[in-house]
Structure 1
Amino acid sequence: MHPPLSEPASLSLLLTWFRRVEARVGRTTGTDPARGMGALWSQERPPEEGQPTERSRWQAMARQLLTTVLFLSVLLGSCVLFIYIFWSCRPRTCDTPVCRRLLDHYLKSGNISVAPCTDFFSFACGKAKGTLAEEIKRQLQRILESSGSWHPGSEEEKAFQFYSSCMDTDAIEAEGAGPLRHIIEELGGWQISGNWTSLDFNRTLRLLMSQYGHFPFFRAYLSPHPSPPHQLVIQIDQPKFDIPLGQELEQKNYAQILREYLTYLNCLGKLLGGNPSKVQEHAYLSISITSQLSRFLRPPGQQRTQGKLFQMVTIDQLQEMAPAIDWLSCLQATFTPMSLSPSQLVVVHDLDYLQNMSKVLEKQLLEHRDFLQSHMIFGLVEALSPALDSKFQEARRLLNQKVRELTEQPPMPTRPRWMECVEETDAAFKPTLAAVFVRETFSPSTQSAAMELFTAIKDALITHLRRLPWIDEETQKKAQDKVTQVQVTMGAPEWALKPALARQEYNDTHLRPSYLQSFLSSVRSRQARIIQSSFQPSPHHRWKVSPWEVSAHYSSSDHMVAFPAGLLLPPFFHPGYPRAVNFGAAGSIMVHELLRIFSQLLLPGCCQACDNRAVLQCLENHYAAFPLPHGISFNGSRTFQENVADMGSLAIALQVMCREPSTQDSQDTHSPPSLRVHGPLSNTPAFARYFSCPRGTLLNPSRRCQLW
């Protein structure tokens, strides 16, 4: 059997055949073959016009044969091309192991008893158990519990030992409250337990902030400045109270919530050996202080509207406006080795709160200095409870359970110990754990395939922007330029791919026999790393996204999108998946994140030349018409931009929505999961055609909103 001919070989044979024909013509007629070849292609007729000769008959035969061969060649080539296109473009069954696992995942997650045209969310996700985030934490658990051999004293060894110490509940139970009592003694003791030394208020506050990472009255941290060049700057913000008493005075169960919180503080005091009557008195006044401070808290949106969210002041000015705090000494102790001065500029997020806080503290210092000390100790014990024995953690669990019942929220699921320890190890050894995770789960070939997908998505979006009728040409060009110039981190950032960056960062992390002491050492080490990064010209810690996260991110200050490895693992993405799966899951998430780049165009008044008012109103009405699962509420105006991005990306990967419905946070900028699926699908005619949805059903409405 002859091997198949290549295109050049076929052409060579055809020319050889022509030469043979010409040779025969030459021999028969006595003409030169070269002249015969010229005559073969000539349009001139010989002088003997009407009389066929032997030469003319050979020419006619050659011409007919050539025409036939060329026709058959074209026909054969067309057939081959048609067959290639048909077989390469038609949907093909994927029967590889990775596809079979994906199909098994879909079958276990879906509920085919539900009609897809009325509730596709339940149809696709109705039987899903757990989330991708939980599965990734199990991967981290397997990594941390594996028997690896690490270099003595290395950052990997410290991370694995830290996790083991966290999991050693027998040792933690045996220590009891002893390590915590030792910390309280270093802070001057506690009046409720009898041995108490009255210390300077600001000295205690300095110790809490610098040594224990605890901020009882406000938060101070390093974060990028909101304006270019986005250098790290000290920022002063509102505190985060576990129970923001004072904001919920309207609640019918407010008094009962106070009683439950009082019970919790009493329990903490007794666990530390406090006198019951003194504990009761100090707990009550601690709640009173929290309640007073909570009344001055304002949501960030309100601060932004009033132009007060980012106020630049010097430390000296801050001292004049909120004199109860010794700002320079407290901030210097917290952010050592930074050199601060009274003229140092800091960002303040709520100056009104700080001024009112100062007045409350000044009054307490005059009337109840010992109670103010107790309030700070109560807060520290609450903050350290994750590193304490089960009695402290059980007290916290009971408080959370009672408060959720009183606020009509579903109970929190019980979290296994290993999950808490994975999270604590992540917080303490993020760069090291990130490098190990990437090595174990995210190959270079996966990163390359994901980059190819992103490039295709970005190019398609740039093309699609030209077709939007509601954006004028100039705005289209600006939007296209922004998409073109965006930077991307795919799978893992540089600091996770280069473990050497982490090796110098854990020299000051010292693991102790007590898990609480190891926990505190990691807190100090983490703070020191953040401060050290501020001295770098382009700090690699400025914007850190863990590789195992399952949420994409867009940073407007860096003009960068990040797609962590957690989003580029099954069932979202795999190089061996069919294209439809990768484009529909990871691809739609990429589109969603890219649309954030010019989300400001969609806000009223931000784009004067954009004729989108009618379609945006249509979209708002469209989402408002969807029924919500029982017990879930959401703020439609707050979720509007996310709804727009969901529409643009069709549907954010359905499997990320596969989780049990939970009470929607009123501050959440995303719609409830079912709406994030139903909203985009109901605006997609192809979905209705594929599932044969009758006109007028939930996912085939009579009217659609064509924004993208």
Structure 2
Amino acid sequence: MEGGDKNGQEPRGQSQASGTGPPWSQESSPEEGLPTEWSRDWSLTRRVLLAVSLFSLLLGSSVLWVYIFRNCGPRPCETPVCLDLLAQYQASGNTSEAPCTDFFSFACERAKRISNSFQALAKENKKRLKRLLEDPESWHQGSGEEKAFQFYHSCMDTDAIEAAGAGPLTQVIEELGGWHISGNWTSFDFNQTLRLLMSQYGHFPFFKAYLRPHPASPHTPVIQIDQPEFDIPLKQEQEQKIYAQIVREYLTYLNRLGTLLGGDPIKVQQHASLSITITSQLFQFLSPLEQREARDKLFHMVTINQLQEMAPAIDWLSCLQATFTPMSLSPSQPLVVQDLDYLRNMSQLIEEMLLKHRDFLQSHMILGLVGTLSPALDSKFREARRELRQKLRELTERPPLPDHPRWAKCVEEAGTFFEPTLAALFVHEAFGPGIRSAAMELFTEIKDALVTRLRRLPWIREETRKEVQNRVTQLQVTMGAPDWALKRELARQEYSDIQLGPNFLQSVLSCVRSLRARKVWSFLQPLPRHRWLVSPWGVNAYYSIPDHEVVFPAGLLQPPFFHPDYPRAVNFGAAGSIMAHELLHVFYQLLLPGGCPDCDTRALQEALLCLERHYAALPLPSGTSFSGSSTLLENAADVGGLAIAFQAYSKSLLQNRGETKLPNLDLNPHQLFFRSYAQVMCREPSAEHSQDTHSPPSLRVHGPLSNTPDFARHFRCPRGTLMNPSSHCQLW
């Protein structure tokens, strides 16, 4: 019965008057009626038991939470691609370095050498192309693919190339009218020879000429005339001693070429010496870039007829028409010219040489052609050129040439001449729909983070903010490869104008002519498609101003920078930061003086000055230097790219479950993000490119990371260390 015991008796002490409280409030305590001392002992015991129970509950909860954390937190990624990435990170990093004082060495140093992530990836992409070119099942008989494979195998057939010797080159020289060195000089028409060199052999001895989009809107195709590229590393301000040594080495090389071609040693010496004199004089005519910038004369717009009057030694219409067939040129055809003063002086020198030393001028042109064609010749010519380049690098204190196996050179040549074919094969092999979809998803998250960040920039006013957001919305993106590279009918085109044989040199020359014709044809299309500046297997992303398009080739979106099965920290830190960097190129104009009239100029300049001082305070590796002003825009893109990628990654962590990490690396996901960013920048500092707009690699790591408070927080860097300075710059 309710309220009674099992015998139906009334419980002792129950209130008869009240039935409103809960049952337990109406019952007597169990110890009621017992002695008071015993009651106190039992109360104490009960409190102890309660405390023990609570402790056990807390201990059990702690164990449970540890279990949940370990099983619901980031799981180790143990797929083959993750284990390969782990091995690369362990091989390239130096964990004995403290990340808060030298994160570049922590991420990039390898047995006292610096790993080069981009170089390693480019090599891996070439190996993939090699496997495709050596797989008989990769191509179809009777298609254009077959010619690509035949070209590669003829390039690899060094026995046949050695057997041909200098014969193929001698035949080319005879087609050009011979030369005085070998005693077979038959005739010489300067402009006819120049026209043949430019149109049939792809050699430009006195200037460069090529098609490009017009520098101003609407970016229609235009022929541009540039200064020549010299075969020897001369500089405007070079020590006389170094200059003399360079000239001696180059003279030795030219003498060697003339001897290999059967020339009389005395004549070879004379013609080689005068060829160097011509090169030196042409070099003296060059206007340094800084001078042309100061005079606001980077480019000139002239017609062919006007250029003919300024530089009459060249038959401009005839030479350009032959080179850019099937374009139809006229004397009124506009040209873009880089250095008019150079062309005037070059023309005057040629006129003088034609009056006094016609045969020497012919020899100069042919010696230059031999250097251009040497990669397609036998080992004696190739070795002569390699030795020259090696000695010149020593004289200019550059690192020695890396080993370049024959297969790598043949892959490069095949890729240059048969790009549509190899692009389709490479993308099919390395960038399937799943990879492309994952890369596009990553790009969308990066772009969304940029748009969000634009709303918070203090130095952009509302009108400009709307304008730049529209530019981001209108931006085109190409991921992996251009559309034409994915069409099998183009990949298997016949290349009917390419004739392979009877020797490898003739095959190369036929490919050179075909490639030039295809480039001209692409420019003549009524709605020309975007012309990629890199191959689909290349490793460089870029932003095209004329097309307002960012390009991320398939060759870049590969391990160790990107893979759908990687932890998201890796993809956002590596590929994501690259994507964000390229997106920020859209806004370079805003950062230039006067480039953003509607901006808060004072706040913008303060942020830029802060960034310049921030980089200037960072330590440089010995033997390297950089210009804070010339690298400022790229530094800004590095800093902003990292910040945007980290913002996108943080949002991704909130919206998605299942983040993974690399096993046995002792890095949590946020630390792995920053480690992956640094991996992108791993490379040796280069002294070769004095005009490089990027900072040295260590600064590209330390600059952005030390300007990111989240890095210092996740690596627990003490205030005042290199990677956690007392102040940060707020540009983006």
Establish whether TM, by shorter chain, passes 0.5. yes
Aligned 8 A contact 1:150 1:156 in 2: yes
Report deviation, 1:260.
0.7
What is the letter of the counterpart of residue 700 of structure 2? R
Give the SS at the match of 1:509: coil
What whole-Å deviation, never above 9, does each CA across 1:86-128 have from its counterpart, x for those lacking one?
9999533323333222222211221111121121111111123
The CA distance in 1 between the partners of 2:203 and 2:222, in whole Å, is 19
The equivalent of 2:700 in structure 1 is 676
Which of 66, 86, 92 pairs up with 1:103? Answer: 86
Please show how residues 504-515 of structure 1 align to structure 2 within 5 Å.
504=493, 506-515=495-504
What is the letter of the counterpart of residue 614 of structure 2? H
Residue 491 to residue 299, structure 1, CA distance change in 2 (3 Å)? farther
What is the letter of the counterpart of residue 122 of structure 1? S
What is the letter of the counterpart of residue 649 of structure 1? G
Which of 548, 551, 554 pairs up with 2:540? Answer: 551
Report deviation, 1:306.
3.1
The CA distance in 1 between the partners of 2:237 and 2:412, in whole Å, is 30
Aligned 8 A contact 2:89 2:107 in 1: yes
Question: Deviating runs (4+, > 6 A) in structure 1?
Answer: 85-89
The equivalent of 1:162 in structure 2 is 151
Residue 367 to residue 541, structure 1, CA distance change in 2 (3 Å)? farther
Aligned 8 A contact 1:265 1:378 in 2: yes
Report deviation, 1:320.
0.5
The CA distance in 2 between the partners of 1:701 and 1:114, in whole Å, is 18
Report deviation, 1:704.
1.9
After TM superposition, the structure 1 stretch with the greater mean CA deviation from structure 2, 505-514 or 591-600, is 505-514
Which of 440, 457, 461 pairs up with 1:472? Answer: 461
Report deviation, 1:373.
0.3
Residue 89 to residue 495, structure 1, CA distance change in 2 (3 Å)? farther
What whole-Å deviation, never above 9, does each CA across 1:590-626 have from its counterpart, x for those lacking one?
1000000011111223224332112211111111222
Report deviation, 1:193.
0.7
Report deviation, 1:247.
2.6
Identity %: 71
The equivalent of 1:118 in structure 2 is 101
What is the letter of the counterpart of residue 676 of structure 1? R
Mapped pair 1:352 → 2:360: no
What whole-Å deviation, never above 9, does each CA across 1:388-427 have from its counterpart, x for those lacking one?
1111111111111211111122212121111111111111
The equivalent of 2:52 in structure 1 is none
Report deviation, 1:654.
2.6
Which of 612, 623, 630 pairs up with 2:604? Answer: 612
The equivalent of 1:602 in structure 2 is 591
Give the SS at the match of 1:468: coil
Aligned 8 A contact 2:145 2:493 in 1: no
The equivalent of 2:653 in structure 1 is none
What is the letter of the counterpart of residue 281 of structure 2? Q
Give the SS at the match of 1:394: helix
Report deviation, 1:374.
0.4
The equivalent of 1:542 in structure 2 is 531
Mapped pair 1:527 → 2:516: yes
Give the SS at the match of 1:131: helix
Give the SS at the match of 1:567: coil
Please show how residues 360-375 of structure 1 align to structure 2 within 5 Å.
360-375=349-364
The equivalent of 2:76 in structure 1 is 93
What is the letter of the counterpart of residue 285 of structure 2? F
What whole-Å deviation, never above 9, does each CA across 1:353-398 have from its counterpart, x for those lacking one?
1111111111111111111000000100000011111111111111
Report deviation, 1:513.
3.2
Aligned 8 A contact 1:573 1:586 in 2: yes
How many residue pairs were aligned?
A: 626
What is the letter of the counterpart of residue 618 of structure 1? C
Q: Which runs of 5+ in 1 are unaligned?
A: 1-81
Q: TM-score, normalised by structure 1?
A: 0.85
The equivalent of 1:441 in structure 2 is 430
The CA distance in 2 between the partners of 1:228 and 1:364, in whole Å, is 41
The CA distance in 1 between the partners of 2:378 and 2:678, in whole Å, is 40
Report deviation, 1:541.
6.3
The equivalent of 2:259 in structure 1 is 270
The CA distance in 1 between the partners of 2:263 and 2:629, in whole Å, is 49
The CA distance in 2 between the partners of 1:563 and 1:653, in whole Å, is 17
The CA distance in 1 between the partners of 2:531 and 2:223, in whole Å, is 13
The equivalent of 1:217 in structure 2 is 206
Report deviation, 1:300.
4.5
Mapped pair 1:247 → 2:226: no
Give the SS at the match of 2:456: coil
Mapped pair 1:173 → 2:162: yes
Give the SS at the match of 1:343: coil
Please show how residues 70-469 of structure 1 align to structure 2 within 5 Å.
90-127=73-110, 128=115, 131-148=120-137, 150-245=139-234, 247-300=236-289, 302-469=291-458
Report deviation, 1:472.
1.7
Aligned 8 A contact 2:236 2:288 in 1: no
What is the letter of the counterpart of residue 163 of structure 2? A
The equivalent of 1:501 in structure 2 is 490
Mapped pair 1:704 → 2:728: yes
Query: Relative contact order, CA 8 A, sep 6+: which one is greater?
Result: 2
The CA distance in 2 between the partners of 1:342 and 1:221, in whole Å, is 17
After TM superposition, the structure 1 stretch with the greater mean CA deviation from structure 2, 343-352 or 375-384, is 343-352
Give the SS at the match of 2:590: helix
After TM superposition, the structure 1 stretch with the greater mean CA deviation from structure 2, 606-615 or 449-458, is 606-615
Residue 294 to residue 352, structure 1, CA distance change in 2 (3 Å)? same
The equivalent of 2:633 in structure 1 is 641
What whole-Å deviation, never above 9, does each CA across 1:168-198 have from its counterpart, x for those lacking one?
1111111111100000011111101111023
What is the letter of the counterpart of residue 437 of structure 2? S
After TM superposition, the structure 1 stretch with the greater mean CA deviation from structure 2, 267-276 or 662-671, is 662-671
After TM superposition, the structure 1 stretch with the greater mean CA deviation from structure 2, 190-199 or 207-216, is 190-199
Report deviation, 1:249.
4.1
Report deviation, 1:503.
4.1
The equivalent of 1:57 in structure 2 is none
Report deviation, 1:154.
1.5
Please show how residues 573-592 of structure 1 align to structure 2 within 5 Å.
573-592=562-581
What is the letter of the counterpart of residue 707 of structure 2? N
Report deviation, 1:232.
1.7
Give the SS at the match of 1:536: coil
The equivalent of 1:653 in structure 2 is 677
The CA distance in 2 between the partners of 1:149 and 1:132, in whole Å, is 22
Give the SS at the match of 1:529: helix
Give the SS at the match of 2:630: coil
The CA distance in 1 between the partners of 2:686 and 2:225, in whole Å, is 32
The CA distance in 1 between the partners of 2:103 and 2:492, in whole Å, is 48
The CA distance in 2 between the partners of 1:125 and 1:315, in whole Å, is 52
The equivalent of 1:59 in structure 2 is none
Report deviation, 1:456.
1.1
Report deviation, 1:636.
2.6
Residue 87 to residue 303, structure 1, CA distance change in 2 (3 Å)? farther
The CA distance in 1 between the partners of 2:235 and 2:75, in whole Å, is 61
Residue 415 to residue 499, structure 1, CA distance change in 2 (3 Å)? same
The equivalent of 2:618 in structure 1 is 626
The CA distance in 2 between the partners of 1:140 and 1:298, in whole Å, is 41
Residue 595 to residue 505, structure 1, CA distance change in 2 (3 Å)? farther
Q: TM-score, normalised by structure 2?
A: 0.82
What is the letter of the counterpart of residue 411 of structure 1? P
The CA distance in 2 between the partners of 1:407 and 1:344, in whole Å, is 41
What whole-Å deviation, never above 9, does each CA across 1:26-52 have from its counterpart, x for those lacking one?
xxxxxxxxxxxxxxxxxxxxxxxxxxx
Give the SS at the match of 1:563: strand
Residue 306 to residue 571, structure 1, CA distance change in 2 (3 Å)? same
Give the SS at the match of 1:561: strand
After TM superposition, the structure 1 stretch with the greater mean CA deviation from structure 2, 474-483 or 202-211, is 474-483
Aligned-pair Cα RMSD in Å: 2.1
What whole-Å deviation, never above 9, does each CA across 1:218-242 have from its counterpart, x for those lacking one?
1111111112222222111111112
